[in-house]
Amino acid sequence: MTETPPNKEETEKSWVKPATEYGPLAVFLITYYGAGIYAATAALMGATAIALTFSFVINRRLPLMPIITAVIVGIFGALTLIFQDDTFIKVKPTIVYALFASILITGLVLGKPLLKIVMGTAWPMTDRGWHLVTRRFSIFFIAMAIVNEFVWRTQTLEFWVNFKVWGGIGLTLIFALSLTPTLNRHKIKEPG
């Protein structure tokens, strides 16, 4: 009897992804309250680089979405610090959301739901399910870009910082939970 090799998700440490995604946000928030937006921006840049390095050391690979986010954090963080203008770091989430939405929409137009490539082994679903989930993620990212623009343009810096951390996490969690019926309806049953 032969044993099937573990898939990518089984070999990766499950705690690494949340730690590398939310760790830099925690560092950003704590630093903001201790030292202000420019120190928080520098801390976010450093924490993002450390998180990517950590992810690579533990899992021996770098996921694409965190790499894209890290590049944008680096660019907009540097612009924030060079010009001493917090507008750049406030616009960064809008750019990230818009870029992810554009990538997903392009995949749909080409008939390739790109989320299936990224998360297919974690969420085994039919092609129809992947199209629906990818479309919904695209809409969610567009909505989050619009909300970020509204918040940073109309609210105080402190409100925006808190929204970026707590509001972003909360809205993402609510969105993920809203996908549960679709994931269940289009789930591929394991033979057994």
pLDDT digits (tens, 9 = 90+) for 2-39: 444 444 444 456 677 777 888 999 999 999 999 999 99
Q: Is 81 exposed, middle or buried (0-12, 13-18, 19+ CB in 10 A)?
A: middle
**SS3 readout for 50-109:** HHHHHHHHHHCCCCHHHHHHHHHHHHHHHHHHHHCCCHHHHHHHHHHHHHHHHHHHHHHH
Section 167-178 average pLDDT? 94
Tens digit of pLDDT for each residue in 127-165? 899 999 999 999 999 999 999 999 999 999 999 999 999
pLDDT of 180 > 50? The answer is: yes
Q: Give the pLDDT score at 42.
A: 97
pLDDT of 172 > 90? The answer is: yes
Do residues 130 and 113 make contact, with C-beta atoms less than 8 angstroms apart? yes
* Domain edges within the chain: 9-81, 86-187
Q: Model confidence at 118, in pLDDT bands (50, 70, 90)?
A: confident
**Which of 130, 42, 48, 118 minimizes the C-alpha distance to 80?**
42
DSSP string, 112-175: --HHHHHHTTTS-B-HHHHHHHHHHHHHHHHHHHHHHHHHHHHS-HHHHHHIIIIIHHHHHHHH
**Which of 87, 23, 18, 84 minimizes the C-alpha distance to 49?**
23
More confident residue, 113 or 152: 152
Q: How far apart are the first and last CA of the chain?
A: 17
Q: Where are the alpha helices (DSSP H) in 6-36?
A: 8-11, 16-35
Stated pTM of the model: 0.83
